[in-house]
Structure 1
Amino acid sequence: MSRWTIDEPTTLGFDGVVALRTTLIAGSVSVLASDERPSVIVGEVAGPPLLVGHEAGMLTITHERIWEGVLSWLRTQRVHASITVTVPRDCPVSLTLVSADALITGVAARTSIKSASGGVTLDGVRGAVDANTVSGAIEAQGLDGTVSFTSVSGDLSLAGGSVERLAARTVSGRVAADMDLVGASRVEVNTVSGEVALRVPESAGAEVALTSATGRIETSFAGLGERERAVMRGVAGTIGDGAGRLTVNTVSGPVTLLGREDDEPEIAEPRMEK
């Protein structure tokens, strides 16, 4: 195994990277998919040094003495690192972040993210995305594949791209998505008080069920009708050919489902009707 201890700006090059695993306390990490030779560029390091390892194609980046050293430094000094990593397009990426921010672009493989409060931006990512945050927000554009999102108060914003499956669960976080549904797509969103705003093509096909105990429910699809239950109230029905499934459940969060013309540009956050 090749290993480097980095405590100053450094550039490293690698051959045969097949997976990336990074743990970062604070600062920023950018993961860029490219046809060029894989590399790690460290622009800044404050606090415990970074430990970079490369074995059997696995590229790892973390703080030296990850918890013991970092917690000691956090009590008295700043912990920060700025990293840019270039990887092959088919390289799976796994990020564990505390308060660090991340950018991932062009990756066409499984992407796994665990974040406490750091913000994450995904651009043109394909494949399966699995994101877990406490208060960190996930913003994405041009996704193609599946998305699993779990958070306490973090927001999820999707703009553009095609979704085969979206599973989102939050307590108070907002879920906003403007996306295309592919064939038998499955969309399931559950929140306690978080707002849900979805926008799909008017030609999309899905069985739809929108329910909330006390939250407002609005939709621009004329084919959906109101349904009252003992505790929950909702809107349900079929749009298009009904090939997919779109389900939203909230306790007190408002729910909005809007349609757009097929040639209308997608926007970052669906417009809310008054």
Structure 2
Amino acid sequence: MSRWTIDEPTTLDFDGVVALRATLIAGSVSVLASDERPSIMVGDVEGPPLVVTHDAGMLTITHERLWEGVLSWLRTQRCRATVTVTVPRDCPVTLNLVSADAVVTGTTARTSIKSASGDVTLDGVAGAVDANTVSGAVEAQGLDGTVSFTSVSGDLSLAGGSLDRLAARAVSGRVAADIALGGGGRVDVNTVSGEVALRVPESAGARVTLNSAAGRIETSFALEEQEGLVARTRAGEIGDGSGRLSVHTVSGAITLLGRADDASEITTPRMEK
């Protein structure tokens, strides 16, 4: 096992990386998929130094005396670093963040992210994405695979790409997605007060259920409206009905729109502030 303690700007190269695990309190971490030799570039380090280990292909990045660093950051906000890592495209990535922001681009293996308040940006990521935040936002474009998102007040915004499955749960966080669904794809979104805005191709096939106890429901698809004792529902089948699209909220508003299959511009649907 190789081990480095880093307290100043440093660049390291590695013979091979089969998995990356990074824990960062504050600052930023960028993970870039590349066909070049794996490397790590550490910018400014404030507070406890970083510890980097490389063992049997597993690359690990964390703060020395991690919990002391957390306490120091809570008291003085002095525990941060700027890190850029290049890894192979098929490298699984695990990020544990407190307030640090993260960017991940071009990876094709599993990406797992846990964040308290740090924001996350994903670009051209394929495979399974698992993101859990407290208040941090997740923004992504060009995803291909599956997405699981859980948050308290953080927002999820997806633009472009094709998903086999989207599972999102939030309390007050908002969910906005403009995506294509793979054949038999599934979307399940649940919020308490968070607004949900989805846009899919007009030719998408799915069994649709939109349900809100107190929020408004709007859709451009021809769905049957049902009034219950405590909730209203819009439901029906679009296209060949091969997939599933289900949205449930307590007081959040729901918007489901269709777009032309050949639409050249894809953006996340606008949500009211």
TM-score, normalised to structure 2, is 0.97
Instruction: Tell me the residue number matched to 1:88.
Output: 88
Instruction: Tell me the residue number matched to 2:261.
Output: 262
Correspondences of 1:79-228 after superposition (within 5 Å): 79-222=79-222, 224-228=223-227
Tell me if 1:230 matches 2:229: yes
Contact 1:18 1:58 in 2 (8 A): yes
Contact 2:69 2:79 in 1 (8 A): no
1:69 Cα shift? 4.0
Letter in 1 for 2:268: E
| Distance 1:247-1:266 versus aligned 2 partners, 3 A rule | farther
Question: Per the alignment, in what secondary structure is the counterpart of residue 67 of structure 1?
Answer: helix
Instruction: Tell me the residue number matched to 1:75.
Output: 75
> What 5-or-longer segments of structure 1 have no aligned partner?
none
Structure 2 CA distance, aligned partners of 1:150 and 1:39?
A: 31
Backbone CA RMSD of aligned residues: 1.2
The CA deviation string for residues 35-60 of structure 1, in whole angstroms up to 9 with x for no partner, is 00000000110000000000011000
1:80 Cα shift? 1.2
Letter in 1 for 2:96: T
1:266 Cα shift? 4.3
Structure 1 CA distance, aligned partners of 2:124 and 2:114?
A: 19
Contact 1:177 1:198 in 2 (8 A): yes
Letter in 1 for 2:240: D
Instruction: Tell me the residue number matched to 2:48.
Output: 48
Structure 1 CA distance, aligned partners of 2:208 and 2:173?
A: 22
1:268 Cα shift? 2.8
1:272 Cα shift? 6.0
Structure 2 CA distance, aligned partners of 1:74 and 1:195?
A: 31
The CA deviation string for residues 97-149 of structure 1, in whole angstroms up to 9 with x for no partner, is 00000000000000000000000000000000000000000000000000000
| Distance 1:272-1:221 versus aligned 2 partners, 3 A rule | farther
Instruction: Tell me the residue number matched to 2:35.
Output: 35
Structure 1 CA distance, aligned partners of 2:75 and 2:46?
A: 14
Contact 1:40 1:86 in 2 (8 A): yes
Contact 2:176 2:271 in 1 (8 A): no
Percent identical across equivalent pairs? Answer: 80
Structure 1 CA distance, aligned partners of 2:72 and 2:37?
A: 36
The CA deviation string for residues 10-49 of structure 1, in whole angstroms up to 9 with x for no partner, is 0000012000000000000000000000000001100000
Structure 2 CA distance, aligned partners of 1:116 and 1:132?
A: 8
Question: Per the alignment, in what secondary structure is the counterpart of residue 193 of structure 1?
Answer: coil
Contact 1:226 1:235 in 2 (8 A): yes
TM-score, normalised to structure 1, is 0.97
Instruction: Tell me the residue number matched to 2:240.
Output: 241
**Large movers: runs of 4+ above 6 Å:** none
Contact 1:48 1:73 in 2 (8 A): no
Question: Per the alignment, in what secondary structure is the counterpart of residue 78 of structure 1?
Answer: coil
1:227 Cα shift? 1.2
> What 5-or-longer segments of structure 2 have no aligned partner?
none
1:151 Cα shift? 0.1
